[in-house]
Structure 1
Amino acid sequence: MATATVAPVLGALENQPRSGPVTGWPSILRLQLRLDRIKSLVWIASVVALVVVSAISVSELYPDEASVQGYARLVSDNAAVVVQAGPGYGLQTDPSTGAVLMNELSLWTIVLVGLMSILLVTRHTRSEEETERAELLRSTPVGRHAAGLATMVNALLVNVVAAGAVILGTIASGFGAVGSIAFGLALCTSGLLFAAISLVAAQVAATGRAATGIGLAVLAVSFLLRAIGDVTGSFLTWLSPIGIGQGVRAFADERWWTPVLSLGLAAGVTWLAAVLAARRDFGAGMIPERAGRPAATRWIQGPFALALRLQRGALLGWFCGIVFFSAFYGALASEAEEMLADNPDLEQFFALSAGSSITDAFLASAVLILALLLAGYGISGVLRLSGEENNGRVEALLATPTTRTRWACGHLLVTAIGCVGVAAAGGLAVGIGAAVTTGDSSLVAEMLWALLAYVPAVGVLAGVAFVLWAWVPRLAILGWVGLVWSAVVGLLAQLLDLPDWVVSLSPLDHVPS
């Protein structure tokens, strides 16, 4: 946090009396908006660009009723599509290009604004307390809940601007105003709900990394609950913020009460965060960190062992998450086979697009998603170097005979071994799940090697993040751009009709099928 940026705010806060629990929140909000001006614009531009380009592509790919009806037949009762897109509101009763757009886009756009909101809230709450920068503001007459209120207003403004731009962009692309407004409201209220959840996580966790992990875990669980609920037609969909957001049924007989539900839940969760904040000590979490040993054990006295000790929690979390997702996708493989009997159009589609069976095509899609998650672990592991440096924990280590190169190589080696181990476990999980449901035991080895084949490409993405950190530490965060682009190419290349040379910019695109 630059001194030149903070100083005017501190001066304004020092000149006001302390009169309430939220005193000073407007000044803190102005500081946050100034600090986030670039990040917020990038997030908003990314969301809007994704929606507008997708809207234009859908209009070109499905220009008439016949093409829309063909799409509806392809995805009708397709469990694999439901898991990766949604229930397809309106496609069975009144197919339209708007319904096609929502089926292709709504899930991932809600996930994107959820991720944006989680990172924004954690950055301005728990991370500020962890690095002790928040003490600068607390030394002035500000209320206990001022930072939390300012952060939620910040999240509200960012989500409102993103939603408003999405509404205008969708209407400008030729889609109806009513459905566009419903979609925008769903995005805004879903983002606010995830922001409120992240605010609770900031009270519970003792570190910014743990708070972010809790927020991302809730996002992942929301995805799973929505997927299971949509496939089985159960109430589980309504336990998921993502499911509630998609439940607005944009362009398909809109249900306007679902954004109100999301907004009400966001208000309730925010109130819970305020209650928790009032009951904890400043700088501490509701779940305190376990006290460490007074001295390091023999096995931890080395760069590699220290890096493993620091990363073991994150590694375990990514390991469990990817293995769980892998088993879940593998268990759906039999659903893909059963769809062929009743949908010859779907069989022809997969034969033309993948040149293989529908089971192979579905599993290839599942492995790609797992590879994207694996890349997320790889990049986060490498960027742990940046976190350790920014938090001031490296100086004491480098004061010993340990060199900067040995310290960095320790973290890189842990991340590399972790990527291989997680990929192997994930490949086995999806293979075993598919083998159990389809009866084809050969899928175990095939899926194992399929996911391991992505490890070099993941290494490229992680390597780019490392180079950015080593070159200009402030640019380290741009390491995530490669993952975002790979996700866009892998998940939306056909929808966006991207040229081959653009697709080839993704390292994951060069992995053999």
Structure 2
Amino acid sequence: MSTTTTERTPSEPPERTRAHAHSTQRPQGATRTLAVLLRQRLRRDRWQLLIWILAIALLALFSAASIQNTYGDAKGRADLLTLAIANPAILMLRGLPQGSGLAAVTYFEIFTFLALLAGLMSTFLAVRHSRAEEETGRAELVASTPAARILPTVATLVHGVLANVVLAVAVALGFIASGLPVGGSFLAGAATGGVGVAFVAVGLLLAQLMMTSRGANGAAAALVVLAYVLRGIGDATGTVTGDGTHMVSSWPSWLSPIGWGEQTSAYVRDDWTPLLLDLALAVVLMVVVFALQSVRDSGAGLIPERPGRADARATLSGPLGLAWRLQWPTILGWTVGGLFTGLLAGALGSVVSSSVADDPALANIRSALGTIGSGGSGPLTQVFIAAIFSIVGVLAAACATQVAIRLRQEEAAGAAEVLMSTPLSRVRWLLQFLLVGVIAIVLVLAAAGLASGLSAVSAGESASIVNDSFAAAAAQLPVALVYLGVLVFVFVLAPRWTVPLAWTLLGLGAFVGIFGGLVGMPEWMRDLSPFTHVPVVVGTPDWTGGYWMFGIAVVATAGAALLIRRRDFAIG
């Protein structure tokens, strides 16, 4: 009689046998875990990504219409490129001229800005799901599950790549909808998405190096701006070729992911090859990221933070000092941005004014400037500075927006509730943050006004231009204050909607108010934006819109102060 038995050799212990039996299930388990992590990231970012992608795609959609309305024929576009090539500062801001065709000029005008936004979107996304998760302790909890430590990073990478693929398609469709060629539009979209993918990897690498999400975000934003500046230096020092409307950039552009996207020459040469550099950079950085992730302790960073003081300064004994301490790095960043924008406004204002005086064919620039912001009539230098200060107004409003967001962050983390256990009242806590917001707005505008006036004087303008620059800065004050007051009211009334509504209202308001006239938006729609009602300071001053905005800001602030005493803290 024989029996069939399954024998186990001594060299094959039960644990190894079970492990072998389940080895075919591990890839499936890892795939399911990765899918769960990816769904969590998509759900968490659904509103933020929607806002980012729609805003960038709308800029692509309306850019061609703006160029068509302002420079409708080839002669006008050639004159624009002639002015840009003659003034390197314009090339720093815009891009690399590749001919006077409508599609080529559109790419020259808008691509570098689209790539800048894609880079910022991607780095913020990467840090949010890596270093920020470690700060809160959630990454360590996830690491204790079958996801371990590597899969969350893989999920963040896939999430970032998918977001940029969607962005690339949205940008391409925006250009196509505006009437540009299909092939070049898809290349332009791919170039924008390629820059974003490269900066996803940059953000993940900095999340490994820095100790805090604030440090990682700050360093990542600085690298995005550095890439924009390197591209600008390469364009400004390039060589003019052909009919005088084409340029070849110099070597600094090849050090920048934004420069690589620009080198595709969409709508002209349609060269896809430079995008391989974005992909290669992302691959190399991700190899480094996974190597560091496998040896680094959770929560640790390779670049240590500067040790703090043993005892707090006297300024931290009150809520005002604490509010300032929490926000001064952000305020400094927006102030530096206002300073550089003011420098460009003053220098370019004088350049544009003299160029138009020498070449009457460029006179249509005045009519184009009149559709930006609140318009106004007067000397062209003043009109140009007032128009560029619309961007300074956006910076000041963004600084105010971050003050409202910081209020929400303090509440969500539970820090505000701890403060309320002291004799500090809710109203006083709120008003101290508001005061810091007002100070921040004034600093951004004052830095821009001073820089604009001094740069214009150094370019040959009279000393009176300093007063004009400060007047242009003061005209943006009501806009920033109305954003501060209204968003703080939103924070008190609907705290969990503070962050998405803050950036949505700012983005839509800036686009409709500043560019609505260029793309032919109806007047009633433009009137919904605070930027449409910026006081006119050139020619005959008109502060009517400013007075209304001051009133709205005061009413919103008073309402927030009254209502905050009646609601519970919304933690989490």
TM-score tier, shorter chain, comes to 0.7 to 0.9
1:452 aligns with 2:474: yes
Distance 1:305 1:59, change over 3 A: closer
- Could you say which residue in structure 1 is the equivalent of 2:388? 366
1:108 aligns with 2:117: no
Distance 1:317 1:204, change over 3 A: farther
1:204 aligns with 2:227: no
1:144 aligns with 2:141: no
- Could you say which residue in structure 2 is the equivalent of 1:35? 44
TM-score by length of 2: 0.78
For 1:173 and 1:388, the matched residues in 2 are separated by: 43
Distance 1:427 1:286, change over 3 A: farther
1:230 aligns with 2:247: no
- Could you say which residue in structure 1 is the equivalent of 2:543? none
- Alpha-carbon offset, residue 384 of structure 1: 0.9
Q: Does the 8 A contact of 2:126 with 2:157 survive in 1?
A: yes
Distance 1:212 1:490, change over 3 A: farther
Q: Which consecutive residues of structure 2, in runs of 5 or more, have no partner in the other structure?
A: 1-24, 239-249, 371-376, 537-572
Distance 1:54 1:337, change over 3 A: closer
- Could you say which residue in structure 2 is the equivalent of 1:132? 137
Q: Does the 8 A contact of 2:453 with 2:469 survive in 1?
A: yes
Distance 1:88 1:500, change over 3 A: farther
- Could you say which residue in structure 1 is the equivalent of 2:317? 301
Alignment partner of 1:190 out of 181, 195, 198: 195
1:381 aligns with 2:386: no
For 1:361 and 1:260, the matched residues in 2 are separated by: 43
- Could you say which residue in structure 2 is the equivalent of 1:509? 532
- Alpha-carbon offset, residue 68 of structure 1: 3.2
Alignment partner of 1:73 out of 70, 76, 79: 79
- Residue deviations 1:302-340, cap 9 Å, x none? 111111122222222333333234334434444324423
SS of structure 2 residue aligned to 1:105? helix
- Alpha-carbon offset, residue 503 of structure 1: 1.8
Q: Does the 8 A contact of 1:86 with 1:227 survive in 2?
A: yes
For 1:317 and 1:227, the matched residues in 2 are separated by: 20
Percent identity over the alignment is 38
- Residue deviations 1:121-174, cap 9 Å, x none? 122112211122222201213343322221111011111122123334533544
Matches within 5 A, 1:285-300: 285-293=301-309, 295-300=311-316
When structure 1 is superposed on structure 2, of 308-317 and 74-83 the one drifting more is 74-83
Name the aligned partner's letter for residue 449 of structure 1.
A
1:495 aligns with 2:533: no
Q: Does the 8 A contact of 1:22 with 1:144 survive in 2?
A: no
Name the aligned partner's letter for residue 495 of structure 1.
L
Name the aligned partner's letter for residue 492 of structure 1.
F
- Could you say which residue in structure 1 is the equivalent of 2:540? none
Alignment partner of 2:417 out of 382, 386, 395: 395
- Could you say which residue in structure 2 is the equivalent of 1:6? none
- Could you say which residue in structure 2 is the equivalent of 1:339? 355
Matches within 5 A, 1:428-443: 428-443=450-465
When structure 1 is superposed on structure 2, of 301-310 and 30-39 the one drifting more is 30-39
For 1:280 and 1:426, the matched residues in 2 are separated by: 43
- Alpha-carbon offset, residue 358 of structure 1: 3.9
When structure 1 is superposed on structure 2, of 422-431 and 50-59 the one drifting more is 50-59
SS of structure 2 residue aligned to 1:90? coil
Distance 1:255 1:18, change over 3 A: closer
Alignment partner of 2:509 out of 478, 481, 486: 486
- Could you say which residue in structure 1 is the equivalent of 2:261? 245
Q: Does the 8 A contact of 2:172 with 2:188 survive in 1?
A: yes
For 1:361 and 1:254, the matched residues in 2 are separated by: 37
- Alpha-carbon offset, residue 244 of structure 1: 2.4
For 1:302 and 1:435, the matched residues in 2 are separated by: 42
Distance 1:509 1:208, change over 3 A: same
- Alpha-carbon offset, residue 81 of structure 1: 4.6
For 2:277 and 2:91, the matched residues in 1 are separated by: 23
When structure 1 is superposed on structure 2, of 108-117 and 325-334 the one drifting more is 325-334
Q: Does the 8 A contact of 1:304 with 1:410 survive in 2?
A: yes
Q: Does the 8 A contact of 2:349 with 2:380 survive in 1?
A: no
Q: Does the 8 A contact of 1:462 with 1:479 survive in 2?
A: no
Distance 1:116 1:297, change over 3 A: closer
Q: Does the 8 A contact of 1:351 with 1:358 survive in 2?
A: no
In our comparison, the structure showing a higher alpha carbon Rg is 2
Distance 1:344 1:507, change over 3 A: same
- Alpha-carbon offset, residue 32 of structure 1: 1.1
Q: Does the 8 A contact of 2:234 with 2:253 survive in 1?
A: yes
1:318 aligns with 2:334: yes
Name the aligned partner's letter for residue 271 of structure 2.
R
For 1:423 and 1:432, the matched residues in 2 are separated by: 14
Name the aligned partner's letter for residue 473 of structure 1.
P
1:156 aligns with 2:161: yes
For 1:297 and 1:42, the matched residues in 2 are separated by: 40
For 2:31 and 2:220, the matched residues in 1 are separated by: 24
Name the aligned partner's letter for residue 160 of structure 1.
V
For 1:342 and 1:263, the matched residues in 2 are separated by: 46
Name the aligned partner's letter for residue 264 of structure 1.
A
Provide the alpha-carbon RMSD of the alignment.
Answer: 2.9
Name the aligned partner's letter for residue 333 of structure 2.
G
Alignment partner of 2:99 out of 90, 95, 98: 90
SS of structure 2 residue aligned to 1:52? helix
Q: Does the 8 A contact of 1:196 with 1:269 survive in 2?
A: yes
